[in-house]
Chain A
Amino acid sequence: MRAFVTGGTGFLGRRVVRRLIERGDEVLALAREGSRSEELVAAGATVVVGDLGDVGSVLDKVAECDVVYHVGARVLSHGDWDEFFRVNVEATQRLMDAAWAGKVKRFVHVSSLGIFEIDRDGLTISDTADYDRRPTLRGFYTRSKIDADRLACSAARTGKNVVVLRPGLLFGHDHPQQPVFLGRVKKFLRPDLLLVVSTPRYLLPLTYIENAADAVVLAGVTEGIDGSIINVIDNPDLTQGEYFRTLGQVRAGSLRVLYVPVALLAPAVKAVDALHRLIKRRPWAVAYQLLRSERSTRYATDVAAARLGWKPRVGLREALEESLRKSA
């Protein structure tokens, strides 16, 4: 099979490329000019030089493939909305259009788990859960991922051969920021003492990068799953407390975690928010995001098991050991 992979040099994309080549597929990998694509070439992929911000030049190549793995996205925390929209939303639609105008049999859209409405604690999020109803209070990355997911799901509903995959928080030794998850809002008070603004009972939707890559490939090659929307999390019941205990056990040197519940900060955050609403006539995005982050949510993963036959190949302890060892 001939596959087209966007974000071919990225954290997840390069693993997808490698897996596909191991399967014997012919792989065209989209990489920006000047990006480190030698690894892809060495692995046997054909590098298509291009940019998601201007996909026009690669659409004819997309149309000639059997499967498109749309893994790439602008994941930076800075930049203007136009850029995020062009790269993460418009490019997704243009790639899908090119795929359906051509001979593509499956379009895999890699989305995100950060897109959902979480208005209270203890929700279970299925593949049909609502999107965040205030995307404009989220960062441009999440907002653009909501927009792209909405378009991909619209295509899925109208009978297009698309599969939407929503991996959790990815980790692995070559993660651009940190090899293992260390809390959303955190600070090391000492090398062995980590302050985390959250609670130990908070459910952590983690996905080890190698497990995520397995799921992406399965989404492209498994028959009869067109239109599926699939959450991909290693263990939906993993609590933050359990995670940090495991991390402490595999990490060189001990690790103690000091939890500061968001609830403790909530009165101050709400006061600033009220002031912000009064002066700027709109809510304070930081307050919205912080209060949202304290609500623990369980993400249903039964669809991944049922439709893809996927389960995490690498367990948490092994994944953490591998990530820390290779990043050392």
Chain B
Amino acid sequence: MTMNAQNMPGRTDGRLRVGVVGCGTIALAHIPYIQKAGGDLVALADLSIRQSSELADRFGVQRVYRGAEEMFDQERLDVVHVLTPPNSHAKVAVAALDRGIATLVEKPMALDQNEVAAMAAAAKRSGAILTVDHNRLFDPPMLEARRLWESGELGDLVAIESFQAGRASDRAWLGDIAGGGLGDLVPHPLYLQLYFLGEVDELHATAFSPSGGSAPEELRVLMKGRGKTGVLTISMNTAPGMNTLKLCGTKMTVEVNLNNMTLVKRRDYKVPKIIAKPLPNLDEAWQLVRQTGQNTIDFVRGRIRYYPGMGELITRFYDAVRRGTSAPVSIEEAAAVVDVTGRIWSELAAASQTATRGVVEA
């Protein structure tokens, strides 16, 4: 394994040479941010030449490869974005990290803890930075929510609720991950949840399919952390699709709507009782009107695009690569998401076995 001097953490000069492995739909979201964050997309790799060629045509990328390792060996990359199906994240990331290439992996980071350990070990061996695309943590209202918590304005955080409704896009590899389509929806609300909840001491999960099918479509997870509880809901049948996070503190409650990119604060108002009922509603309505107006202006002026958190995460990641500082999402944070995901599916499997045994015994 080789490590180029230019790939060592700590470089502060110029633009980064970036490669992308996996030329599917999510690459369309990543690529515009690469340039913006100070990277030059020099090469793409995908097993499908149709996928890589068409993406290269669209973005004027000069070089394509069918194998990721061929690309790593030829292109002296500083950074790679691993956007392949989840079952190959670990293999591709380890190959990149072993060559000293800073690596951004799409979510979910890996299928299990063994893969996580292999990726973490490769990052440690080479000193290259590894991070995971937990992009929603960096959406503008999430950054504000994080600030409110970290500055103490929320007070002590006691309860967290993350809610995700919708259906995963139909992809060939969904069968490779635990929970299939529902499993693909787990990482986003879970990493939001765990960012605030921290370590999970207790976990209870239940899932079912309203249509009676074998694949779960509705999931609820109750978690207990240190001094906080968290509830995670994933619904494939609720309409409309929705992504929200509610943070309940001892001084303030905050609700983030990640579909509409708004954050609504609800506080105690020291006002006469007669207006204590309508005032919070008026305040919330005003917050929504103001933020919707600002978002509209920002969108029209091109200040925000789709997946704004991804842009912020990529910018922070590239800065970390240049300066040799820590990754925007640490390996430990990403590993915790894989760990808790595994615990959810184990809990569900155990519950299902108990139920089956109960039916047989009855």
Contact between chains at A90 and B50 (CB < 8 Å): yes
Which single member of A132, A133, A134, A150 contacts B53 (CB below 8 Å)?
A150
Bits for B55-73, please: 1 = Cβ < 8 Å to A, else 0: 0111010111110001001
Residues in B lying within 8 Å of A, measured CB to CB: 49-50, 53, 56-58, 60, 62-66, 70, 73-74
Which single member of B58, B60, B65 contacts A154 (CB below 8 Å)?
B65
**CB-defined contacts of A135 to chain B, threshold 8 Å:** 56-57, 60
**CB-defined contacts of B50 to chain A, threshold 8 Å:** 85, 89-90
Q: Is A146 close to B, CB under 8 A?
A: yes
Separation of A157 and B53 alpha carbons in the complex (Å): 17
A-B contact count (CB 8 A): 46
Separation of A264 and B62 alpha carbons in the complex (Å): 32
Contact between chains at A158 and B53 (CB < 8 Å): no
Q: Is A182 close to B, CB under 8 A?
A: no
How far in angstroms is the closest Cβ of chain B from A185? 24
Residues in A lying within 8 Å of B, measured CB to CB: 85, 89-90, 93, 117, 130-136, 143, 146-147, 150-151, 153-154, 157-158
Contact between chains at B62 and A150 (CB < 8 Å): yes
Contact between chains at A157 and B64 (CB < 8 Å): no
- Given contacts A90-B49, A151-B53, A158-B74, A136 and B58 within 8 Å (CB-CB): yes
Which single member of A93, A150, A157, A158 contacts B56 (CB below 8 Å)?
A150
**CB-defined contacts of B64 to chain A, threshold 8 Å:** 150-151, 154
How far in angstroms is the closest Cβ of chain A from B59? 8
**CB-defined contacts of B74 to chain A, threshold 8 Å:** 157-158
Contact between chains at A134 and B49 (CB < 8 Å): no
**Cβ contacts A to B, 15 pairs, < 8 Å:** A85-B53, A89-B50, A90-B50, A131-B60, A131-B62, A132-B60, A143-B57, A147-B53, A147-B56, A150-B56, A151-B49, A154-B64, A157-B63, A158-B70, A158-B74
Separation of A104 and B215 alpha carbons in the complex (Å): 50
- Given contacts A154-B65, A158-B70, A146 and B57 within 8 Å (CB-CB): yes
Separation of A134 and B62 alpha carbons in the complex (Å): 11
Q: Which residue of B lies closest to A90 (CB)?
A: B49
Q: Which residue of B lies closest to A153 (CB)?
A: B63
How far in angstroms is the closest Cβ of chain A from B77? 14
Which single member of B57, B62, B65, B73 contacts A136 (CB below 8 Å)?
B57
How far in angstroms is the closest Cβ of chain A from B176? 26
How far in angstroms is the closest Cβ of chain B from A159? 10
Contacts A89-B49, A93-B49, A154-B65 aside, 10 further interface pairs with beta carbons under 8 A come to: A85-B50, A90-B49, A131-B62, A132-B60, A135-B57, A146-B57, A147-B53, A147-B57, A150-B53, A154-B64
The 4 closest A-B pairs by CB, nearest first: A133-B60, A147-B53, A135-B57, A158-B70
